[in-house]
Structure 1
């Protein structure tokens, strides 16, 4: 295994399985099953964050505030008269938000994380993190403005926006997203439960006008869940700030020294080439790294994140992807044979001229025998891919490029093809125009190109 692959194994396959693999690794070099919590605000506690990361003999902890109900009651009684700025403002965005004037509705999240600091809360910089935490435990987080437009919120254009940003994990392994990233040194990370919110990427997909065409969230990489500003004290479970152990290093310091590999659009990312897994159950780990040439066969990826992953020539044969976030992914010539995709996101982030790598790259991939349900393949480049025996139900192919793909025998049922590019052949028309598919009137039927889309290592024509 590559060095980074070894260090991330604990995060990918979970605590129990990693312990079973301890003979291959130095057990003392890993934080498994979650970050270690030290020097708690309120009490010493363990905060199971759902992922871990190898840091050699160094580690980053969070100082977390976990209290009993009696302790919380005492704190709230003490600080009940101390109000955070804006706490009396009207709460907006609880029932619905708007996108281009249309209503979108929230869902309830079991656990979210919000990064903040004294300045954002309107509190003096002289207040300690402990004092700020006590006030938040007592009063919750204050309401904000009344603007419930999610596009203006994402673009940070509205000073009166109603929402505050949260993420599903405290910090991405790429270290460029998450509540801890936005809180930064000296800030606070607030863990919340049972909060209603809006997946900004999903809500804005195909609804934001960019360069004369509709695209998605212009800040897709933030992975934000927008929640109404007012958060009641009962929804706040823990509060933490960054803590560096004497022999440790920060996430950013570790990432700066970790091995990197060339990436097709981002210059370079964490080097996880040579990773080999089979029959593993993978949860909310993050594979936003260079995985080229890896083998991950017969695995189950449940809510796993592959955002911006480079997975060229990877072998995922027989794997299951359940609510996996893979938008965008760069996986030319990868093997997805007999895989299952259930409610996944593989879509590109914008039209081709939006930015380099705007389309997800699935050129010349093997999707033979794939079964995909309720999965977004919007703005995916499938040119030269193999789809024999594949079945797609209620999937989206908005602006997808399916030129050079033999669609004979492929099943599409209830799928959407708005502005997709497809070779104009009798077989393609037979499978696309049937099966109760939608938006096929706007398909861009292309003249089959004499160039072979199966040539390796060569860019196919646009």
Structure 2
């Protein structure tokens, strides 16, 4: 593909197997049912693009942005995202495991009911993301930013949450039985549930 900037192009059913793209921009393009297995992108931008039933298995993305894109029943198993942005993108009924996400921004992303069980999500940014009813059991969320994220019914059982940032609503809405937290987080959890925590050794 020679174009560096593409607007409104229809790539539905296209075979883009193991192609390599660098510093290319796609705006409002349709990649529905395209074969994008093994695709390699570096420094690319996808804005308001559609990936419906698209196969992105084993694709590799570095410093690439997917902004307000729609992933509907897409296959992302084996895909890796490093230093990427998925800002405002939505994922519906997608196959995501196994997936590799490092230093990636998922701010405002819609991840309702996604299955990311046992995935390494350390240090990721999920600010204001919609994670309602997502399966995050046994995930590694150490240092992740979950501030203002919607966590209603989110299953965090067995997750490692040490150092993660979660607001009071998150502590109340999520299922966190069996999760690992640090002392500061335990106090925040207690406060979110209306408990008062006092140090021992007070007045006898």
Q: Superposition pairs for residues 236-385 of structure 1, below 5 Å? A: 270-288=19-37, 289-348=39-98, 360-385=99-124
- Cα distance between partner residues in 2 of 1:2 and 1:405: 38
1:393, 1:412 within 8 Å by CA — same for their partners in 2?
A: yes
* CA pair 441-330 structure 1, distance change in 2 beyond 3 A: same
Q: Deviations over 1:237-256 (max 9, x none)?
A: xxxxxxxxxxxxxxxxxxxx
- Aligned residue number for residue 389 of structure 1: 128
Q: How far apart are 1:337 and its partner, in Å? A: 0.8
Q: Which runs of 4+ in 1 moved over 6 A?
A: none
Match 1:423 to one of 133, 138, 162:
162
**Structure index of larger Rg:** 1
Counterpart check, 1:411 vs 2:150: yes
- Provide the TM-score with structure 1 as the length reference: 0.35
- Aligned residue number for residue 180 of structure 2: 444
- Give 3-state SS (helix, strand or coil) of 1:373's partner: coil
- Give 3-state SS (helix, strand or coil) of 1:370's partner: coil
Q: Deviations over 1:301-347 (max 9, x none)?
A: 11112111111211101111111111232101111111111222322
* CA pair 272-432 structure 1, distance change in 2 beyond 3 A: same
- Give 3-state SS (helix, strand or coil) of 1:281's partner: coil
- Higher-strand-fraction structure: 1
Q: How far apart are 1:432 and its partner, in Å? A: 4.4
- Cα distance between partner residues in 1 of 2:52 and 2:119: 21
Q: How far apart are 1:447 and its partner, in Å? A: 7.7
- Aligned residue number for residue 137 of structure 2: 398
Task: State the Cα RMSD in Å.
Answer: 2.8
Match 1:434 to one of 159, 168, 172:
172
- Give 3-state SS (helix, strand or coil) of 1:311's partner: strand
- Cα distance between partner residues in 2 of 1:340 and 1:52: 22
Where in structure 2 are there 5+ consecutive unaligned residues? Answer: 185-204
- Provide the TM-score with structure 2 as the length reference: 0.75
- Cα distance between partner residues in 2 of 1:402 and 1:431: 18
- Aligned residue number for residue 37 of structure 1: none
- Cα distance between partner residues in 2 of 1:323 and 1:395: 16
- Aligned residue number for residue 196 of structure 2: none
Q: Aligned residues, how many?
A: 179
- Cα distance between partner residues in 2 of 1:377 and 1:327: 11
- Cα distance between partner residues in 1 of 2:36 and 2:86: 17
2:148, 2:166 within 8 Å by CA — same for their partners in 1?
A: no
- Cα distance between partner residues in 1 of 2:15 and 2:59: 18
- Cα distance between partner residues in 1 of 2:141 and 2:42: 23
- Cα distance between partner residues in 1 of 2:168 and 2:78: 30
1:286, 1:305 within 8 Å by CA — same for their partners in 2?
A: yes
- Give 3-state SS (helix, strand or coil) of 2:51's partner: strand
- Cα distance between partner residues in 2 of 1:447 and 1:324: 39
- Cα distance between partner residues in 2 of 1:292 and 1:379: 27
